Amino acid sequence: MIELIEKTRDGVELTLPDVERLIRGIVNGEFPDYQLAAWLMAVYCKGLSDNEVFWLTNAVAKSGSEVTEPLGLVDKHSTGGVGDKTTLVVAPLVASLGIPLAKMSGRGLGHTGGTLDKLESIPGFQVALSREQIARQVQQIGLAVVAQTEELAPADKKMYALRDVTGTVDSIPLIAVSIMSKKLAGGASNLVLDVKVGNGAFMQSIERARDLAKMMVRIGAYHGRRVRALLTRMDQPLGYAVGNAIEINEARQCLQGGGPADLREEVIALATHMVSMGLDLSIEDAKGKVVNSLDQGMAWRKFEQWIEAQGGDVSAIQQDLLLAPYRKEWVASEDVTVGSLNTLAIGQVALELGAGRHQLQDSVDPGVGLTCFAKSGAILKKGDLIATVYARSEAQAQQAIQQLQQAIALDKREQEVMGSQDAVMEVIVSNGDLA
């Protein structure tokens, strides 16, 4: 291990046997945490070559039990943001068009919400399914969204835990390996990546987001997977709702043909690329099918099927799920223009209300959360609703409103209003992909 640390520290490329030895030693516990931490810091400071990234991704993917027969044709991954509820809509939307999808999702940590936490706010919904149950459900209804199994890419779990406590999370090669190793192990041949950009995302600059996206597309191409990466805006919450049950409520609105315009736009973009890849269609033809499914209720009916299949109470989602009892509104006291939003701070407000977790073992309150109706550049009239908070106490609700007032900049002067910005900033594909 000392030799591997020294090689990476000095910028000397590891060989394929080096990489395989490294991952073998991580999984069997041969290499102590302090040595692995030293190697991770060397990677953070010096980076990795493309070959090292390709080999490392493959070795991590093979460190546990691999999916020999993919359960789904397409998959999706988001790098995480505030109000990012796209999987709740995209998964049934894609499945409604006859494209099987078996997706492993995660839990929220810090200011980013987790898909599993949101789904568990539906009474009875089960996220822990056996491989046999997943296969049977995908065969029956074409869709399952479940918790990642312990056997999937265990080397990544070990590496991520150490990255989290050694200041090496923010390394593009290590992020790419972590994401793509799990996707390779999952088996789907087509993957759409939603790479968030902005002050509510891990990638705050478009340059770093683009570098990450390009690296993940190259990893996919090297391993014979078709990958498309969409760079999407995260300089304000996606949609209005931030929380768990409250995001299920907003996802329902979107699935029924309504919901916030920015959420609908991003869902259509992601689903269009998944359908284009899954059915081998042009972007234009795929988009037509996606919009039709949303507007004709096909996606909503698939959502109901899915919730029922995983034990959820379908009658509960026919209306809004119950939210925490203390509701407090922030209303514009005069005519104002919305300036910038500190999206990270808005996510932190939801976190402090109990909608997220500081550590993985923390519990999550499904009923708390907020709606933020302020969008950058919007003109608000006196009396317009800016935000609503749902909390477990009057004091928590009041504090949350005060924090939101610090996170959202309002200007009393009339300003030139920004035009609406496209949710998707760029699409990155591998050579030969006709997206």
91 contacts: CB under 8 Å, gap ≥ 6? 76, 101, 103, 143, 145, 306
The yes-or-no answer on residue 171 being catalytic is no
Buried b (16+ CB within 10 A) or exposed e, 391-427: beeeebbebbbebbeebbeeeeeeeeeeeeeebbbeb
User: Is the CB of residue 75 less than 8 Å from the CB of residue 138?
Assistant: no
The yes-or-no answer on residue 210 being catalytic is no
List 158, 182, 196, 375, catalytic entry: 182
The yes-or-no answer on residue 320 being catalytic is no
Helix (H) or strand (E) segment spanning residue 133: helix 131-141
How far the first Cα of the chain sits from its last, in Å, is 43
Q: Shortest CA distance to 39 belongs to which of 77, 1, 74, 69?
A: 1
The yes-or-no answer on residue 282 being catalytic is no
CA distance 16 to 361: 36
User: Is the CB of residue 427 less than 8 Å from the CB of residue 192?
Assistant: no
List 7, 111, 118, 163, catalytic entry: 163
List 75, 84, 117, 156, catalytic entry: 156
List 121, 178, 276, 430, catalytic entry: 178
The yes-or-no answer on residue 182 being catalytic is yes
CA distance 103 to 348: 27
HSE toward the beta carbon, residue 319, CA cutoff 13 A: 3
Q: Shortest CA distance to 73 belongs to which of 269, 225, 299?
A: 225
CA distance 366 to 389: 14
List 77, 103, 157, 218, catalytic entry: 77
User: Alpha carbon 402 to chain centroid distance?
Assistant: 28
Active-site annotation, residues? 77, 156, 163, 178, 182
